[in-house]
Amino acid sequence: MSIWILLIALIVVFGAIGFFLGGVRAAVTMGGLLVALMLARSLAPMGAKLLPVLGVKNIVGIWLLSPIVVVVLLALVFLGISFAVHVMVAKSIKSKNDDVLWLGFQRANKHLGACVGLAGGIACFFAIGAMAYSIGYATIQLSGDTIPSSVSWLNAFRSDMQATGFDRVFAKLDKAPPKFYETADVLGLIYQNPILQSRLNTYPPFLTLMERQEFQDISTDKEYNDLIFSKGNIASIVEHPKTLGIISNPEIRAEFENTDLADLKAYLKTGKSPKYDDEKILGRWVLDKDALLTHLKKTKPDMRSSELLALKQLMEKFPKVTMLATVDNRTIFKVDGVIPDPAATPAAPAAAQPTIDPRMAARYGRNLAPPAARPAAPKPAATPGVRPPPILQLSGEGTWKPFAGEYQLSIPDGKQKAEAQVRVDQDELILSKGDQTLVFAKVE
């Protein structure tokens, strides 16, 4: 219904404007309006700079209104030009002809203006429809329970296109690039399904990006997460300081602009990346203590129960070890904490010797003499065969490359680099360096 209301309103309004302006002024003005509509997208950045000066601070509002501002300003410029053209034409006709012809020109000029206005209204309807076709595609996907009335009208207008069949016409007039629709699809998926944000953390090209402080702060901001998970007003989300901090960062913005949006969309939907799934090493991996303990037991099946118990206790004290394998063939190891030394046992403090008042000692003699200090208990020897894997040396950056169906890593080993082999079995990564082995589990 809204689409017919708009068409009728534009025809009536533009017809009336054309009638009062006359054919000459209406032709120049409508011609300028058509030019403005064709240049609206390319000149929209100029409108975006002007709107804050006029008091519009809302980012979403600026994005929606900037093309409209450009069209209105250019139409006003051509309207001013039309008056100058009309004066020249009218002066020429009046000076060269009699009053009868002059009066006929005035009547014809008004009727011609009405026809030009009707044509301009129809042209403006199709231009507005083409813009609403693309913008409405995004606003429908980014609309929650609470939306401004202007966005609600735009969504209804976009839905009416499909019901009336106008969408096929506007689709042919639409000039929005494919990337616009891919971006709208990705943002719409995340907005309507906030739980999918967790997949952004594990998308291979975003692994290092999600380690940035801006995204770490978001994960701990309850107010911001409540706003997102409640599908709050998209304008409020965009204007939140956390969102603005990301948008205003050129490095983050460039990373998103270079993203393969079709692949990201598939990953958000399925958890699988058609572009990166062949490289099994890519992802975020964390040391799996239980799997490592199982592996160590398999390599030494004759391990005694005392050794096994000591090994379990040692594993419980291991810090969190994370490995990132990125799309640019880098590996990044992080160790949160310090690995305990099983051979280090804290010495027991020496027992304090009691003190005796000299007068009491003189009266009662040696009966009050302090007992001889007991010899200190011997320091227990470290449990043989229990040694933690050399994880501390892994903290830092390295590289990876495919090798014989597996992977070869150049990993940090103190101040030098060491070669290690990696085998990936589904969601388990086994890193081997000589006779030393670490087992990692993939973070989904």
Whether residue 413 has pLDDT greater than 70: no
pLDDT at 116: 92
User: Looking at residues 277-294, what average pLDDT do you find?
Assistant: 89
Q: How confident is the model at residue 9 (pLDDT cuts 50, 70, 90)?
A: very high
22 close to 112: Cβ distance less than 8 angstroms: yes
Closest CA to 427 of 408, 403, 438, 443: 443
Closest CA to 419 of 405, 436, 440: 436
Whether residue 166 has pLDDT greater than 50: yes
The angle that helices 2-21 and 99-141 make with each other, rounded to 10 degrees, is 150
Whether residue 350 has pLDDT greater than 70: no
pLDDT at 165: 86
pLDDT at 142: 87
Q: How confident is the model at residue 282 (pLDDT cuts 50, 70, 90)?
A: very high
Which among 61-75, 172-186, 331-345 has the top mean pLDDT?
172-186
Q: How confident is the model at residue 215 (pLDDT cuts 50, 70, 90)?
A: confident
3-class DSSP assignment, residue 439: strand
User: Looking at residues 322-345, what average pLDDT do you find?
Assistant: 75
Q: Whole-angstrom Cα distance, residue 39 to residue 72?
A: 12
The phi and psi torsions of 189 (rounded to 5 degrees) equal: -60, -45
pLDDT mean across residues, the chain? 81
Closest CA to 246 of 274, 279, 263, 221: 221
Which domains, and CATH codes, for the chain?
A: 2-173 (no CATH), 193-270 (no CATH), 283-339+383-442 (2.40.128)
pLDDT at 349: 44
409 has which bridge partners? 400, 420
What DSSP designation does 203 have? S
45 close to 62: Cβ distance less than 8 angstroms: no
pLDDT at 367: 47
User: Looking at residues 235-261, what average pLDDT do you find?
Assistant: 85
pLDDT at 118: 92
User: Looking at residues 89-115, what average pLDDT do you find?
Assistant: 87
Whether residue 394 has pLDDT greater than 70: no
Phi-psi region of 437 (alpha: psi -120 to 50; beta: other; left: phi over 0): beta
Q: How confident is the model at residue 401 (pLDDT cuts 50, 70, 90)?
A: very high
pLDDT at 10: 92
pLDDT at 383: 45
User: Looking at residues 55-78, what average pLDDT do you find?
Assistant: 80
Dihedral angle sign, alpha carbons of residues 196, 201, 202, 205: positive
pLDDT at 361: 46
Q: How confident is the model at residue 146 (pLDDT cuts 50, 70, 90)?
A: confident
Identify the weakest region by mean pLDDT among 116-125, 230-239, 362-371: 362-371
Identify the weakest region by mean pLDDT among 37-51, 358-372, 383-397: 358-372
pLDDT at 248: 80
User: Looking at residues 396-415, what average pLDDT do you find?
Assistant: 84
Half-sphere exposure of 128 (CA within 13 A, CB side): 19
Whether residue 170 has pLDDT greater than 80: yes
Closest CA to 203 of 272, 113, 156: 272
pLDDT at 39: 82
pLDDT at 44: 81
3-class DSSP assignment, residue 310: helix
